[in-house]
């Protein structure tokens, strides 16, 4: 990417949108571009943190992996999104592992540069704090879901949140196994829940999309444990 293209992408990221041209040019000069293939990890939990990652193209997933190999998907990230803020701010160690779900192009803002900008630009510090607060709230909701809600309830809620109208368009990597990891269960259980929803005419499953047939029915299941 040219310097102008990097600056243009940086200016569209919420963290940097209020920075002046001089600051953006400073960040761009210290930005590294990296390409990743499907299945390749950008970094692993516990490794030294290189910096803040910005997605130019492609989709990735952030996960925590247990010692037994079980995964909990924390979030999916796509074009125009940034990730690894926590690693940057917590002593330089990555707290998650991130895997490319398809070929991806990323920009990396080096950690020392970002920390220097935080000291100089209150608007950047404020934006990072607000985003981290949203992440904490998301994590709290995730813990609540895993502790108090059934798999059926979590799946129904996931489908409602992901739907555009009554349709969920599935990316190639959005398999039932990926959805299982996202809502904190295993493929055999999620397959059973999907089959139950299909048999009850709540949804219709197709290769590239999921159609919601009974929005009210899914809502009833989603909030059945509240």
127 shares a domain with 20: yes
Digit-coded pLDDT (tens) for 189-203: 999 999 999 999 999
Closest CA to 32 of 106, 88, 112: 106
> Is the pTM above the cut of 0.85?
no
122 shares a domain with 24: yes
Q: What is the pLDDT of residue 165?
A: 87
Is the pLDDT at 43 greater than 70? The verdict is yes
138 shares a domain with 91: yes
Digit-coded pLDDT (tens) for 116-143: 888 888 878 888 888 888 878 877 777 7
Is the pLDDT at 16 greater than 60? The verdict is yes
44 shares a domain with 24: yes
What average pLDDT does the chain have? 87
185 shares a domain with 126: no
- Angle CA(127)–CA(102)–CA(1) in degrees, nearest 5? 60
Helix (H) or strand (E) holding 110: strand 104-110
d(CA 224, CA 221): 5
193 shares a domain with 96: no
Query: If you write DSSP's letter for every residue of 46-101 in order, what string do you get?
Result: TSBP-EEEEEEES-EEEEEE-TTS-EEEEEEE-TT-EE-HHHHHTTSB--SEEEES
Q: What is the pLDDT of residue 29?
A: 86
Q: Are 107 and 6 in contact (CB under 8 A)?
A: yes
């Amino acid at each position: 990417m040219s310097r102008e293209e990097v600056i243009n992408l940086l200016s569209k990221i919420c963290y940097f949108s209020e920075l002046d041209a001089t600051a953006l040019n400073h960040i761009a000069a210290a930005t590294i571009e990296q390409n990743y293939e499907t299945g390749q990890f950008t970094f692993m939990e516990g490794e030294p943190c290189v910096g803040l990652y910005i997605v130019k193209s492609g989709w990735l997933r952030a996960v925590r992996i247990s010692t037994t190999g079980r995964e909990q998907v924390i979030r999916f990230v796509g074009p125009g999104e940034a990730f690894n803020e926590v690693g940057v701010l917590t002593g330089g160690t990555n707290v998650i592992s991130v895997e490319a779900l398809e070929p991806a192009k990323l920009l990396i803002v080096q950690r020392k540069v970002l920390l220097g900008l935080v000291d100089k630009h209150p608007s950047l510090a404020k934006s990072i704090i607000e985003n981290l607060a949203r992440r904490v709230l998301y994590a709290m909701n995730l813990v609540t879901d895993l502790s108090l809600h059934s798999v059926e309830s979590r799946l129904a809620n996931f489908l409602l949140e992901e739907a555009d109208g009554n349709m969920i368009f599935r990316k190639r990597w959005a398999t039932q196994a990926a959805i299982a990891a996202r809502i904190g269960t295993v493929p055999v259980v999620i397959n059973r829940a999907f089959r139950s929803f299909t048999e009850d005419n709540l949804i219709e499953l197709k290769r590239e999309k999921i159609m919601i047939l009974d929005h009210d029915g899914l809502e009833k299941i989603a909030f059945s444990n509240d």
